[in-house]
Structures are given as C-alpha cells and as structure tokens.
Amino acid sequence: MLLKKILLLLGIFFSTTACAFAEDGIIDTGDTAWVTMATALVMIMTPAGLALFYGGMSRYKNMLNTIAMTLVAYCLASIVWVGWGYSLAFGESSNLFIGNLKHLFLNGIDIHSVSGTIPTILFVLFQMTFACISIALILGSVVDRMKFSSWIIFTILWVTFVYTPVCNWAWGGGWMHKIGALDFAGGNVVHINAGVSGLVLALFLGKRHGYKKEAMIPSSVAFTALGAGFLWFGWFGFNAGSALAADGIAASAFMVTNTAAAMAGLAWLLVEWQYSKKPTLLGLASGVIAGLVGITPAAGFVSLTGALVIGVVSGIIGFFGVAVLKHKLGYDDSLDAFGIHGLCGMWGAIATGFFANPSITEGAAGLFYGNPKQVWIQFLSIIGTIVFSATATFIVVMTTKILTNGIRVDSDDELAGLDNALHGERAFEIE
C-alpha cells in the first residue's frame, strides 16, 4: 500500500510538472502529429490539387506547361522560404513591416527549437506550404502566354518581396497584427495578395491571342473537378491546421470549412443554372473553391451560421466575378485567379469582421457580437494588402521584364502551344 501511494504521488508530481512544461513551450505530441498531417495536406494542394485544377482548365496545347509552372513554383518557393523567406516573414523585428535575416537558411533553428507546442522546424514547413500555394495561385491569371524563364524569376522575387511582408504584417507581429486584424489562415496573406498580384500580371501581359474571338475550351473539366477535390481535402489542413494545435478551434475550423465550401458550390450551381440555363461541373467545382477561399480568413473565428452565410455569398460573388465582371471590364484573367481568390478573399476578410464569434476564439468579436470596430479594422487590412500587392507586384514585373528580356512568349509559340514549343512534350499522346 505504501508503495502504491508513493507511485501515485510521483505520478501526480510528474504529470503536473509535464503540464507546466507544456505551457512553457515543451512539445506536445498530439499537436505535433496534427500539424505534421496538416502540413502534408497543404503540400498536396499545390503539385497535385492546383496542378490538376488549373491544368484541366487550360487549353490542351498548354496543359503540360501549366502543370510544369505549378510544380516549379512549388520547388522555387520551398527553397526561397527556407533560405530567407521564413526569416523575413517571422524574424523578430522592431519595425512593423518586415522581419530580419537572423534565421537565414534557418540559422539558429534546430530539432530542439519550439514554437508554441510544436517543433519550430515543423512550423517553418507548415508556413512554407502557404508561400508555395500563394505564388502558384497567381499562375491562374497568366496561363497560355508567360515565358517559363520569366515565371521562374517572378516567383523568386514575388515570394521574397511581396509575400513575406504581408505574411509578416498578419502573422509575424506586423502592423495588421498590432491593429487587431483577423486573418486565421490567409485571406489577406494568401488570397487577396495572390489575386491582386495575378490581376496586375495579367494586365501587364495583355490578352491572349484570340481572346473573346475564339473558343478557349478547357482541356479536361474532369481533371479540374478532381483537382477541386484534392484542394478541398487539403484545405482542411490549410484551415484547421492553422490552429497549430489539436483542439476545439481546429475542429470548429474543420467543420466550417467544409460547410462553407459545400454551400458555395451549391450557390454557384444554382445561380449559374438560372443565369445561363446550364448547371456545369466546372461551375460547381469553381463554387467549392470560392467557398473555401471565403471561409479561410474566418475559419477559426466563426460558427456554423457565419459559415453558411460566407459560403452562399462566396458562391454568388465568385460566379459574377467570373461570368460578369471580367467580361464587362475586358481583362483576361485566364483561369480567374482574381475573380475567385481576389474577390472572395476580400469578402471573407470583411465577413470575418461581421461574424467573428468570441465563443470560438476568445477576444475575437465582430459586429454581430458587439464589436463594430472590427469591420473597420478588417477593411483597413484589405486596403493595405491591395495597395501594397498591386504596387510591389508591378515593380517585380518590371524587374522580371528587364532580367529576362520581356515576359511574354513569342506569338508563334503562343499560337502553336507552349507544351511543345517550350518543353518539347505533350500532356497526352493522341494517335
């Protein structure tokens, strides 16, 4: 009996000590396992999900080029991130606009470094996947007409000089964080940033040959739908993983992410069916992505009600951004990166200011929960992102043009198709 009491007291002591250590930054195995899985989920979104989604929407003669540009963007962003991107985004700095180079090539970070309750190396990897998909999203605005070499240079410069500052503002202790802007998983950092940058790049490149004069039929809507499925699956890591813990907030983010995506897919389908008299698979898949974009900044802050509203409106905004606004204004956003990611990202960011529920995340309250000021804060963060992204991307584009002697492919190559002209390959062999 005495031995049992001693063992019981030792057990209580060590369990209490372990809890105290966990609060002070000791690795939690459950959190680490979940964020490891979430990182893998987000990783698959770019070289598999987005490659299929964009590849299927591009024309047959450019399908392989689209997939290649997606894959090379992932490779390049991965190296930039571990080289200097992470340090610029998350290195502690006295200013509110950019980090430092203290962690150049992950200097000072080893297997014993801890961020919260997970290894810092894992946090670096998780954030890396966000940088990778952000640059890849921009590709949707410019497929069919950008030089591969220019895309490589643009990717390196954009991740360095456009992505890392906005990431620092929202998540690295910058000015957005200081004013209390809410961006759970990347409304500003990923979607508005990439969508606006894509529009700037598309306007600079100009319209594709034959735009509005000839049919530009997707090579495989089936591939696009499959890609949407991969993206939907990976987005659970994107949003629920951003809790950086295996807890109730992660579970809630998982639930509202799925709900908003499903609601937006149905909303787009019904609006399209009424508008054009045809319920298309491409529209349904695009609606799902619109809903995923819209819920991203709000995922850890809103309840089911907020998710339903955000989903419905995202589907409607996405459809009219793609089917109406683009054609009214006449710009050629090839695969609608701005129409879906830019516009729905803005809606999601502002909607967070309305629907943020303090019962989900303590201290995060929106207009409908007694804090109208949050709407204004969200608006400021959106405007700041738009202005910076547009300006910085223009500078990056001009620099890329100088370094690569122009960024648009030759007219003959564009007409013939970039798969064979640039890569000497074809996506499929046709007898």
Q: What is the mean pLDDT of residues 139-152?
A: 97
Burial label, 402 (beta-carbon count in 10 A; 0-12, 13-18, 19+): exposed
Please, are residues 246 and 47 in contact by the beta-carbon 8 Å criterion? no
Residue 25 has what pLDDT? 75
Q: What is the pLDDT of residue 265?
A: 98
Segment 378-389, tens digit of pLDDT:
999 999 999 999
Q: Which domain holds residue 207?
A: 29-418
Quote the CA–CA distance of 239 and 254 in Å, as a whole number.
Answer: 7
Residue 13 lies in a domain: no
What is the secondary structure of 317-362 as a DSSP string?
Answer: HHHHIIIIIHHHHT---TT-IIIIIIHHHHHHHHHHHHH--TTTST
What is the rounded distance in angstroms from the CA atom of residue 41 to the CA atom of residue 231? 9
**Confidence class of residue 431 from pLDDT cuts 50, 70 and 90?**
low
Whether 20 is in a domain gets the answer: no
Q: How many domains are there within the chain?
A: 1
Beta bridge partners of 114: 119
Given this model, what pLDDT does residue 9 score?
41
Distance CA 241, CA 262 (A): 20
| Phi (first) and psi of residue 356, to 5 degrees | -55, 125
Asked if 101 and 84 count as a contact pair (C-beta separation under 8 A), the reply is yes
CA distance 135 to 154: 9
Per the prediction, the chain carries an average pLDDT of 93
Is residue 429 in some structural domain? no
In a domain, 14, yes or no: no
Say if 248 falls within a structural domain.
yes
C-alpha separations of 116 from 70, 121, 123 in Å: 32, 12, 9
Q: Give φ, ψ of 27 to 5 degrees.
A: -60, 130
CA of residue 350 relative to chain centroid, distance: 17
Section 391-397 average pLDDT: 98
291: in domain: yes
- Judged against a pLDDT cut of 70, whether residue 147 lies above it is answered with yes
Closest CA to 194 of 391, 342, 44, 27: 342
Has residue 55 been placed in a domain?
yes
For residue 145 the two structure tokens come to: 């007409």
CATH label of the domain that carries residue 183: 1.10.3430.10
pLDDT exceeds 70 at position 10: no
The strand pairing partners of 119, in sequence order, are 114
Look at residue 430 in the predicted model and tell me its pLDDT.
62
Query: Is 431 part of any domain?
Result: no
The Cα 392–Cα 163 span in angstroms is 10
Q: Which residues pair with 115 in a beta bridge?
A: 118
Q: pLDDT at position 215, please?
A: 86
Query: Does the predicted model carry a pTM greater than 0.85?
Result: yes
Cα 267 to Cα 347: distance, rounded to the nearest angstrom: 15
pLDDT at residue 170 greater than cutoff 90: yes
